[in-house]
């Protein structure tokens, strides 16, 4: 009887662990992401990355409106391995060159680590994103 309980426990544990890994692998990065740590939103569509922000302005009719402003940089997909995507991002005019490592923590949480150089000095920043759902 002890062997049966032990075997059942081991099989149940392996099954649970396998299910968690399969769930994470089936989640993709695609979607819209926002962060309290950045003014920019991020949209990921397969290997295409777009960063943008919304800036307010007053129309001729004195109404508040918003315009979408893309980030000044260029981001290029480098690789994807499991729940990690690596890109290169650069803003030549600001002498800003970084590698961005995106790690999908869950279907709603994305971590981005920016590592590289800004005006020749070492640069490191971490931004935590939340998925944005649009009804």
Q: Which two tokens stand for residue 44?
A: 């990921």
Domains held by the chain: number = 1
Is 112 domain-assigned? yes
Three-state SS across 61-118? CCCEEEEEEECCCEEEEEEEECCEEEEEEEEHHHCEEEEEEEEEEECCEEEEEEEEEE
Quick one: pLDDT at residue 5?
47
Is 111 domain-assigned? yes
Which among 108, 100, 107 has a CA at the least distance from the CA of 126? Answer: 100
pLDDT in tens, the chain (135 residues): 555 444 444 444 444 444 444 555 556 899 999 999 999 999 999 889 999 999 999 999 999 999 999 999 999 999 999 999 999 999 999 999 999 999 999 999 999 999 999 999 999 999 999 999 987
Is 126 domain-assigned? yes
**How distant, in Å, are the alpha carbons of 76, 116, 126 from that of 41?**
17, 21, 15
Quick one: pLDDT at residue 24?
52
Quick one: pLDDT at residue 16?
45
Quick one: pLDDT at residue 17?
42
Is 47 domain-assigned? yes
| Range(s) of the domain holding residue 42 | 28-132
Is 125 domain-assigned? yes
Quick count: other Cβ atoms within 10 Å of Cβ 67? 10
CATH of the domain at 91: 2.40.128
Is 1 domain-assigned? no
CB 127 within 8 A of CB 114: yes
Quick one: pLDDT at residue 28?
83
Is 15 domain-assigned? no
Is 19 domain-assigned? no
Cα of first residue to Cα of last residue in the chain, in angstroms, is: 53
Quick one: pLDDT at residue 27?
62
């Amino acid at each position: 009887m002890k062997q049966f309980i032990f075997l059942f426990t081991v099989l149940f544990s392996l099954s649970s662990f396998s299910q968690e890994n399969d769930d994470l692998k089936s989640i993709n990065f695609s979607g819209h992401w926002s962060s309290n740590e950045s003014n920019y939103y991020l949209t990921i569509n397969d290997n295409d990355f777009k960063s943008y922000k919304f800036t307010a302005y007053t129309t001729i009719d004195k109404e508040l409106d918003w315009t979408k402003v893309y980030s000044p940089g260029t981001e290029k997909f480098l690789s994807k391995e499991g729940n990690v995507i690596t890109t290169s991002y650069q803003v030549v005019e600001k002498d800003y060159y970084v590698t961005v490592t995106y790690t999908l923590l869950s279907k709603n949480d994305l971590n981005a680590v920016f590592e590289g150089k800004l005006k020749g000095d070492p640069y490191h920043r971490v931004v935590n994103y939340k998925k944005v759902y649009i009804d």
